Amino acid sequence: MKTLRSANKRRSRFAKPSISVMLPVLLMLFGLAGIAQAEGKASEGAVYVVPVQQTVQSGLASFLDRALTEAEEAKASLVVLDIDTPGGRLDTAEQIGKRIRESAVPTLAFVSGKAASAGAYIALNAGDIAMGPGTVIGAAMIVDGNGDPVDNPKLVSFWSEEMNAAAQLNGRDPSIAVGMVDPNRVVEMKAIGETKEKGQIISLSADKAAKVGYADHIAKTAEEAIAWKGLSDRTVVHFEPSLAERLAAFVTGAGISTLLLILGIAGVAIEFLVPGFGAPGILGLISFGLYFFGQSIAGFAGMESLAVFILGIVLLILEAFVPSFGVLGLLGIAGVVAGISMGAYDTGNALRSLGIAGLVAIVIVGVVAYVFRKRGIWNKFILKEQLTTDKGFVPQQPRERWIGREGVTASMLRPSGLAEIGGERLDVITTGEFVENGKPVRVVSVDGTRIVVKEIRD
């Protein structure tokens, strides 16, 4: 069976990058979006094998639309959706299901791992379903970002009807599809002698799925499934994600987004507080750029989230130079948080990641600021010039040394004036009495900068 790679030359209209204004270096990354590694040209009537092996989100919808469009233009005989996904967004699953139903090319869902939740819905919308040994389909209960069940009767009812309709497309028992969603529904599966009780969710192994009509064939590989459809003599095109889509899938993966936020916050803060390095600032901008690049390709972040984020950064910079009593700083922090959360798949997860990233970045910035404390921006606000004798400055001598010494007034004291004491002319003052010029005086006390004298009488 001949195989070749797809010539993925078109940019997905759903995956248009949106952060080229952030950093010129990232222009190269955006140029990668939609560019493929062509290894040949598919002949008419070929079979396209398309991987559905990631979380169901907007990026996957974009990728599948591109794959189905290319298969349609190539007049392919079949599109095989190689499914192994834990599920994802319901709205995206609906979008994908609609695109599969409207495809001009016949479709086959080959479950090579698990078709859970939204993945089960995608499989049910295909023309046929083949499953590999040991694979599973089902468990389509609605959950939130933390994996906890969503107890919303309207939402459960809606999604149950969506699964019901998808099952009926190819004459499958709709009650089983509903039992994959609604834990309160009782479903009898006579073909396997089992009953789903309340509080349970249906998940079917490949063997059970075949018995209840949710798998049309058991195949170890996609090639076996293609042979079952009688197309083993056709060229097989393995449609692969573009380099940009792979990069986006990586940077939006577990832990990577948080790491990028840590590097972004720490890098920009270090460059601002301890200027002169350059590298931390560039690393921070690239990290933020990759974060928004990945979220953009995945279909989460739009231009509005990037604009809000950049506005927040600008306000934080202005806070350092424009007195605003913290108003600009608070608005800047709000803008950064809003931009990052708006550009993420789940706002709650984004805020948690941002919180973790902020704490770690504070520690990193604190360590760097301490090590390079002599280069910090705060040094611009500290007067370091010293008035030393080697620069011509004479330090002030303590005035207590004049106490008890005698001299002569050099002017009339009314009650202040001049006196010559110890060969120096000093500003002196009496306790209130007037003293004529040329009279002998004695220093009786020193009060701060004042030298108090008293006339010496015979």
Alpha carbons 172 and 166: distance in angstroms, whole number: 9
pLDDT digits (tens, 9 = 90+) for 232-266: 999 999 998 877 777 766 776 657 777 888 888 78
Q: Cβ distance 326 to 228 under 8 Å? A: no
Length of the chain, please?
A: 458
Model pTM score = 0.59
CA–CA distance, 169 with 382 (Å, rounded to integer): 75
Residue 180's Cβ-count burial label (10 Å; 0-12, 13-18, 19+) is buried
For residue 59, the model assigns a pLDDT of 75
> For residue 314, what pLDDT is reported?
82
Kindly give the parts of the chain with pLDDT less than 70: 1-44, 58, 145-147, 248-249, 252-254, 274-277, 297-302, 320, 343-350, 373-397
Do 57 and 299 meet the contact criterion of CB atoms below 8 Å apart? yes
Q: Tell me the pLDDT tens digit for each residue of 152-182.
A: 888 889 999 999 999 999 999 999 999 999 9
Q: What are the Cα distances from residue 343, in Å, to 275, 296, 362? A: 29, 8, 23
Exposure letters 275-288 (e unless 16+ CB within 10 A, then b): eeeeebbebbbbbb
DSSP 108-132: EEEEEEEEETHHHHHHHHSSEEEE-
